[in-house]
Amino acid sequence: MTVVDKSQLSKNGPEKSLTRGKKSTGGRNNTGRMTTRFRGAGNKRRFRLVDFRRTKDGIPAKVVSLEYDPNRSADIALIHYADGEKSYIVAPDGLKVGDVVMNGPKAELKPGNCLAIKDIPVGVDICCIELVPGSGAKLVRSAGQVATLRGKEEDYAQVKLPSGEVRLIHVNCRAMIGQVGNLDLMNTKMGKAGKKRYLGFRPHVRGVAQNPVDHPMGGGEGRSSGGGHPVSPWGKLAKGKRTRNPKKTSKKFIVERRKK
């Protein structure tokens, strides 16, 4: 078993005013049908209200604690604004308790501060990026992820995303300076099946281990590999088949496709 050192995280519970109850779905949709296999049970969670919009400009906020969030791979930081308001933000790498963060055009270029892309110099590492101005961060939010601002042309900036894709994003969209924290998450090893069950994952059965009636790759004598190209239980090609719609409206914003 390999685990991440969480000694820097708060041992206290989350800020009660910033949490809500969260109901487990077990992989079912609103009609009760299973739409995601191998999900269910797991430890009970409370949802943390993380501020992805960061619209409180010009008011400094002190980092009170760094906390674990069971709903995402990144850690979160509890901040107290100078006017008394409390908020959760995604914790970037290098952010410590006692640091001061700020939003808006007057903010410095240091991890945790949130600015519009037009106010960020080219070449700076950014994360938690909006796709539409004011909609809240949608891109580069998971542990260890980082994007790079490559250039600006009139109303749009070129941003290189972690996948290798270069995309045009409006300069009025906001982004956080730095890299998302909890970089060592990728090196963790569960160590036992039970730990995966705590996280809400049930045993995953390989297609080749199933019967022909249950999976296209099932059946055969002995330990057969399934034969042909790997497919999903519904016959769709897996392992690299491109499924993006070529007529998708956002295609015009993609400068370079992600690496194969």
Write b or e for each residue in 3-40: b if 16 or more Cβ atoms lie within 10 A of its Cβ, otherwise e: ebeeeebbeeebbeebeeeeeeeeeeeeeeeeeeeebb
Predicted confidence band of residue 214 (pLDDT cuts 50, 70, 90): very high
Predicted confidence band at 137 (pLDDT cuts at 50, 70, 90)? Answer: very high
* 35 vs 26: CA distance, rounded Å: 9
H or E element, residue 48: strand 46-48
From residue 5, alpha-carbon distances to 9, 51, 181, 184 in Å are 9, 25, 13, 9
Euclidean distance between the first and the last CA atom of the chain, given in angstroms as a whole number? 31
Percent of the chain with pLDDT over 70: 100
pLDDT tens digit string along 156-195? 999 999 999 999 999 999 999 999 999 999 999 999 999 9
Q: What's the full length of the chain, in residues? A: 260
How is residue 63 written in tokens?
């980092």
Q: What is the 3-state secondary structure (H, E, C) of 12-35?
A: CCCCHHHEEECCCCCCECCCCCEC
Q: Over the stretch 22-60, which tens digit does the pLDDT of each residue have?
A: 999 999 999 999 999 999 999 999 999 999 999 999 899
The candidate with the shortest Cα–Cα distance to 13, out of 65, 49, 91, is 65
**Who contacts 201 (Cβ-Cβ below 8 Å, separation ≥6)?**
38, 39, 42
* pLDDT exceeds 80 at position 224: yes
DSSP assignment of 233-253 equals TTS-B-SS-----TT-GGGGG
Q: Is the dihedral of CA 121, 126, 131, 137 positive or negative?
A: negative
Q: How is domain 16-184 classified at the CATH fold level? A: SH3 type barrels. (2.30.30)
pLDDT digits (tens, 9 = 90+) for 97-123: 999 999 999 889 999 999 999 999 999
- Determine the pLDDT at residue 185: 92
pTM to 2 decimal places: 0.87
Residue 70 confidence class, pLDDT cut points 50, 70, 90: very high
